[in-house]
Amino acid sequence: MFKSWTSSLLAVSVGLATPLSAIAQDSIDYKEQEKLHEIAGAMQADRIESDIQTLVDFGTRHTLSETESDTRGIGAARRWIYAEFERISEACGGCLEVMYVSDTISGEERIPDPVEVKSVIAVQRGKTDPNRYVMMSGDIDSRVSDVMDYTSDAPGANDNASGVAGALEAARVLTQYEFDGSIVYAALAGEEQGLFGGKILAKKAKDDDWHLTAVLNNDMIGNIEGINGVIDNTTARIFAEGTRMNESDREATMRRFYGGEVDSPSRNLARYIDTVADRYINNLDTMIVYRLDRFGRGGHHRPFNDLGYAGIRIMETNENYNRQHQDLRVEDGIEYGDTIDGVDFDYAAKLTALNAVSMASMSWAPRPPANVEIEGAVKPDTTLRWTAQEEDKENIAGYKVYWRLTSAPQWQFSRYVGNVNEYTLENVVIDNYIFGVASVSNDGFESPVVFPGPAGTFSIE
């Protein structure tokens, strides 16, 4: 997404409207982006290991498990997470707002009797645009083979103490910085019983009118040894669904012409994170998967997608099913169960760094442009228009236009066009490319790209 070097290489071949030298960028202080390298290098695998061990030691964190004990069950686990966020907040002078977000669920297949599903979140408020949020989440709860067995030991080391430990570690590092936008660190409950923690928090975000621009769901970020025999600590997957479209809706149908078949807010978020991995995370290559999730599986980004938020799932590339949703046992010489010896802590730290750098970059960037429009049918040129977001306009240096071939998975061409709200790409035919626009801060941080989609309108010739 940020590969602006392609602009200078391709300016002649694609016939840009004006020379690159005509677009002033000398006011942008790119040195500030060195902080992203600092953040990437600050994650500590030993702290992540300690957090995972603590969560494993609660025996089980099943949603229906013990809530009164201080040493066992979901209640003890969430109180410890709350206290840990409070300790992190104390270290940064009270910079976190720590809270429970809960609701009572009953009458469901996996929660037949009333149960309080209680998640823990910590909010680091932005200094100039506090109602703009990015979120990193992991899941508190664990399970064994029988999803209704809430008494047996269910360590849930990788699934998903690793995600919660990642959120805690990201908070420790990022609270050492101030951001323009707000960051939410979430430990969500009730995932194994039906994604209820995510549903409750997504509803809160909608009811409270959060401008939630990105949800990074981390579900299993610590395993490097796949059941397929592959051992790999250098890759990760990012699951991202496409635009949800109602074919009877004319506007939704037109989105298909402007990229809706392969683009969506979630997929542009995934492209953003993929570029962060390339730029800032050593020895990590991310694979964007054009699916909501794995076949027959689910994750806590889905409730946010359902309400229209950009949300993706970050996880290991090679899964070990012997360690997922299994009773602890040895059978035919195979050890089953999600125990801590199956977690690679350096790998978990690497994926945590990917989250932290992505959230920092988005939180230092301005809000993405709104109301992106496009026109160019039966013309040799393509024109893009957009609306600036007023909430943090002082942080906007300008905008960057992106485009790529319709068959290309990642943005290929880009052009910084200055602080304008319209730009025409001469001799770039609308039929042959997919387009988008990103906001650029005074320090060179970019928002995710917005394409003419769910939040945009269309000019049809």
Sign of CA dihedral 410, 436, 356, 159: negative
Residue ending a domain, among 349, 364, 379, is 364
What stretches of 140-292 adopt beta strand conformation (E)? 181-188, 211-218, 235-239, 285-289
pTM: 0.92
Q: Are residues 60 and 127 both part of a single domain?
A: yes
Q: Are residues 358 and 371 both part of a single domain?
A: no
Tens digit of pLDDT at every position of the chain (461 positions) = 443 333 333 332 333 333 333 344 555 777 888 999 999 999 999 999 999 999 999 999 999 999 999 999 999 999 999 999 999 999 999 999 999 999 999 999 999 999 999 999 999 999 999 999 999 999 999 999 999 999 999 999 999 999 999 999 999 999 999 999 999 999 999 999 999 999 999 999 999 999 999 999 999 999 999 999 999 999 999 999 987 765 445 555 555 555 657 889 999 999 999 999 999 999 999 999 999 999 999 999 999 999 999 999 999 999 999 999 999 999 999 999 999 999 999 999 999 999 999 999 999 999 999 999 999 999 999 999 999 888 777 889 999 999 999 999 999 999 999 999 999 999 999 999 999 999 999 999 999 999 885 433 433 33
Question: Residue 21: what pLDDT?
Answer: 33
Helices (H) and strands (E) in the chain, counts: 10, 16
Q: Are residues 331 and 402 both part of a single domain?
A: no
Question: Residue 17: what pLDDT?
Answer: 34
Q: Are residues 120 and 133 both part of a single domain?
A: yes
Question: Residue 382: what pLDDT?
Answer: 96
Of 144, 137, 143, 145, which Cα lies nearest the Cα of 162? 137
Residue ending a domain, among 364, 383, 414, is 364
Question: Residue 2: what pLDDT?
Answer: 41
Q: Are residues 65 and 170 both part of a single domain?
A: yes
Q: Are residues 21 and 116 both part of a single domain?
A: no
CATH of the domain at 384: 2.60.40.10
Q: What is the span of the domain harbouring residue 388?
A: 5-33+366-441
Question: Residue 19: what pLDDT?
Answer: 33
Residue ending a domain, among 314, 349, 364, is 364
Chain centre distance of CA 434: 23
CA distance 139 to 325: 14
Q: Are residues 62 and 146 both part of a single domain?
A: yes
Cis peptide before 427 (omega within 30 of 0): no
Burial, 258: exposed, middle or buried (Cβ in 10 Å; 0-12, 13-18, 19+)? buried
CATH of the domain at 206: 3.40.630.10
CA distance 225 to 364: 35
Q: Are residues 434 and 296 both part of a single domain?
A: no
**Which alpha helices (H) appear in 244-369, and where do they start and end?**
250-255, 265-280, 302-306, 345-364
Q: Are residues 73 and 83 both part of a single domain?
A: yes
**Cβ(209)–Cβ(131) under 8 Å?**
yes
Please give the tally of structural domains in the chain.
2
CA distance 320 to 213: 32
Of 308, 325, 125, 332, which Cα lies nearest the Cα of 220? 325
DSSP-assigned letter for residue 392:
G
CA distance 263 to 453: 8
The DSSP line for 297-322 is ---TTHHHHHTT--EEEEEESS--GG
